[in-house]
Structure 1
Amino acid sequence: MSDIKLSVGALVVSGWMSFMSFGLVLAFGWQYFLQFYDDKVLYKTIVTTCLLLCFGDTVVSGLWCYRWSSSYFGNAAALLATPQEAIATLWFFPTTTFIVQLWFAARIWMISMRKNLILPALIAILSSGSWAIAIWMFSKLVKHHSTLVDDANLVFPVGYAWLGGDIAADMCIFVGLAYYTEIRSRKQRRHHLLSPTSLWAVTCRMIECNVLPLISQLVLIILFKTNVGLYYILSDMTIAKIYTFSLLISLHSRTPIVEAISHAAISNSDPITFTRSTINATAVQVRQDVHVVHDIEASPISPYDKMEIEHEFEVRKGSLADEYHDSPHHHIGAGEV
């Protein structure tokens, strides 16, 4: 009876958690498309791809649970064979992990004022290596397809490198985002009050810094190395949704108005007409928004937005005045702001 609880029981619990986590991610994805309906095509493509991968991962997890708990229940030969659904998951959640880690690497490069190239490159290398190992494991199991024990012995000497690469990439992402959004910006704050509101804000900021995927990877290692049966599958069946949730939280943390200003400044798209008074007011307002000193919970603009706007302001500060004096009609393109 204990063997059934540690095998079929663990699989059923993991399947239910997979469905629940997918429902949560789907709700946040719907909210993202409602709030950022005019977001960049690249961002919407990334979110859509991750949601589709989560959907596929949830479907194969549900099929695996159904067959083991009903169709194959009591059939020892069928339960000992490596499930095709388990092999399919090696395509869905490593690909989701790969996409999200690359997105966070690009985000770190952006919020570092495009100066820190070493850390994003390291994250990209670790993520690409882990994804390549996962695809190798997937192809190997598709061709071999024996028992669970034999297949585990076949791929898991290399599988440890896959898990280690993902954990190292997540640690780099967490350290990089925590430094640029918390540690460096904290030096400019006058007050560091410890209150329930500030604790909640710090918790949300840690989620934005990709801490949940890092924890899930560590939990996977712990469950796999301890004597808890197949309960380590709990992390396998939910990890794609956890990464997508972290991505959506990071996208939701942006301020829509500031994102629009930053996008217009980079794309040099729509011209904006200024007078002398509005130029001074705009410069003062941007400077105030960037360098305002207050507690973390009172900030209407996320650290990502502050850093990107500060970078654009510093780069284009000199060209703003030059364009104004050179133009007879005092028209300045949005790309000069």
Structure 2
Amino acid sequence: MDVKDFNFDLPQELIAQDPLDDRASSRLLVLDKDTGAVTHRVFRDIVEYLRPGDCLVINDTKVIPARLMGVKADTGAKIEVLLLKRRENDIWETLVKPGKKAKPGTELSFGDGLLTGTVVETVDDGNRLIQFHYEGIFEEILDQLGQMPLPPYITHQLKDKNRYQTVYAKHEGSAAAPTAGLHFTNELLQEIEDMGVKIAHVTLHVGLGTFRPVKVENVLDHHMHSEFYVVEESEAAKVNETKAAGGRVICVGTTSCRTVESASTEDGVLKAGTGWTEIFIYPGYRFKILDALITNFHLPESTLVMLVSALAGREHILAAYEEAIRERYRFFSFGDAMFIAPDPVALPQKTEEK
């Protein structure tokens, strides 16, 4: 399986640089995963494609302001640190730019010394382990000094930090947002619950490995980075009850999908617990839990395009992407959404009496 099989040409101007004022007003491409048929809607119309008895699985991770701009303590040379993964004793695995200035033993300073750090060692992929020193609560200092770690293809400054969080973000730990969830408002979620759809929360702290380009020609040689997940007993029960009753499990985003597929048994039972997952889903994968997926449009040759191709078939996905490009959909993190399902039929909506 060649990585080039998942390539497509995307005009730069279709990469969304800013979030919409109204989260739910983004566009929604509805894709029948079995036939490839496409329908164009608006995201808040998602309620027409959900049914009582379904279960929506959302990832309630919260993005930390993980980008720190600092200096080398001895020379004052500028340095940028991106927090990737928390270890023990205030040690974090980080990505440092420029890396050559961050040899073990290097002392770093952020916010005029409010936060300092020592480079401990270099690990896989050139990442650095940094031990931080501070007075008070680390999260509060990070909130004061850190910037949101927007993907490199977003060049605009984010005016409101909360627009790179879902409205249900709760557990801090992600280096990137689970972006399919950005389209939901509290009102829309309430409407979905009121119509008899269960909402199950899982947590997967998104690492940058998810978005890293596949650098090998053969897809099967690619290795995913590990990410930490949590599935509570009560939330696993919602999913399992839905499956047992014949309802559909609809994951909001590839991160929710990867969580439930990692934490399930071969016969499709979701297990409560915590763990690290390196699951890599590509064509040929048999889904054990997921029936349908709400997702954004992903980068060419990325593991995320491979995941949606595993669900709907590479030809259907690439054809849908071509259609989205023709229709000038907005791509990537702040872009528009897809709903991928077998036979997605919009239910007739009740008309309100005037």
Structure with the bigger percentage of helix: 1
TM-score, normalised to structure 1's length?
A: 0.24
TM-score, normalised to structure 2's length?
A: 0.23
Structure with the bigger percentage of strand: 2
- The structure that has the greater radius of gyration is 1
RCO higher in structure (CA 8 A, sep ≥6):
2
